[in-house]
């Protein structure tokens, strides 16, 4: 099986991390080599010390892209979950990595504000956080992503299936049609809850 990078992009609160975690768990259960790089975890490890200026954000996304490139060329499915608001840098990573599937978690800003799992929109709207994507900093929507998730209209299961179907369609993998066990499903829910997504 050849490696590929699944690049999840979307506003904070759009549901990209939730769907990515379920995709990760399903692929893992099927025995695939898969790693997940979540924006929050990257920020505290790989990109510690970087701020939120455009330059620092671009550097952060390039670093994630570099790791994804290494994983992908070693036949691993790399799942990157980053807001990555700027098209130019997403395209830079696409060119660098090659086997690249862009997954756009599309969700209205109103719904994201309503969900606000980490309380970031509340702080941004109160002026406590500056240059917050979707409030006072732009988010450049993907023009032609391989996968479009409408996370304010679809269930997590429907969005997950879209991603898996696309991977099969592009011949990156064959997924066995098996359901996740209830025990595995509980583990996923616990993990998402601990991360603040449920």
Distances (CA, A) of 51 to 4, 115, 158, 178: 29, 25, 35, 42
Q: Which helix (H) or strand (E) holds 36?
A: strand 34-38
Catalytic-labelled residue, pool 12, 14, 17, 84: 84
108 is catalytic: no
Phi and psi for 174 in degrees, rounded to 5? -115, 120
Task: Please list the active-site residues.
Answer: 84
């Amino acid at each position: 099986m050849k490696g590929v990078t699944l690049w999840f992009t979307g506003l904070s609160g759009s549901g990209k991390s939730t769907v990515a975690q379920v995709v990760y768990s399903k692929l893992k259960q099927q025995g695939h080599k898969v790693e997940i790089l979540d924006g929050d975890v990257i920020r505290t490890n790989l990109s510690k010390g970087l701020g939120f200026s455009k330059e620092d954000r671009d550097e952060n996304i390039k670093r994630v892209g570099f790791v994804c490139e290494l994983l992908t060329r070693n036949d691993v499915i790399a799942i990157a979950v980053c807001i990555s608001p700027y098209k130019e840098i997403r395209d830079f990573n696409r060119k660098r990595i090659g086997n690249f599937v862009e997954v756009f978690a599309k969700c209205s800003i109103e719904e994201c504000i309503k969900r606000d799992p980490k309380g970031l929109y509340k702080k941004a709207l109160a002026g406590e956080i500056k240059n917050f994507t979707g409030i006072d900093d732009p988010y450049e929507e993907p023009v032609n992503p391989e996968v479009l998730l409408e996370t304010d209209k679809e269930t997590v299961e429907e969005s997950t299936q879209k991603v898996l179907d696309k991977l099969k369609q592009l011949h990156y993998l064959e997924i066995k049609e098996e359901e996740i066990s209830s025990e595995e499903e509980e583990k996923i829910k616990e993990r998402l809850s601990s991360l603040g997504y449920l």
